[in-house]
Amino acid sequence: MDRMDDTDKPTRRKLNADQKRALKAATVDLFLRQYGRKAQRGVEPNDRRYSREVEKALKQLKPEALDVLMRNDEE
């Protein structure tokens, strides 16, 4: 059996500030689409599946910070 050397392992990259901001904006965009969808006819109205952790984090943000995240693509 061949063993993997430490050099064969993929290196882990850290995200820069722009990448972190883009990831946060994408997470917020996904959450808003899931959270804001209309209830389906004849189906339980509380069947929406979205991240409760993201919801909690968004509720703790200042309105200005949330606005910036929500409008990230419009810049």
- In tens, the pLDDT along 16-50 reads 888 888 888 888 888 888 887 776 677 766 666 77
Domain that includes residue 63, residue range: 16-37+49-75
pLDDT at residue 51 in the model: 83
Within a domain: 30: yes
Within a domain: 4: no
- Which has the closest alpha carbon to 21: 58, 68, 59? 68
Q: What is the dihedral of CA 38, 40, 44, 49, to 10 degrees?
A: -60
Within a domain: 44: no
Within a domain: 22: yes
Give residues with Cβ within 8 angstroms of 66, minimum separation 6. Answer: 28, 58
Site of tokens 């050397």: 5
- Give the orientation angle of helix 17-35 with respect to helix 63-70, to 10 degrees: 90
Within a domain: 72: yes
Within a domain: 26: yes
Site of tokens 């969808």: 37
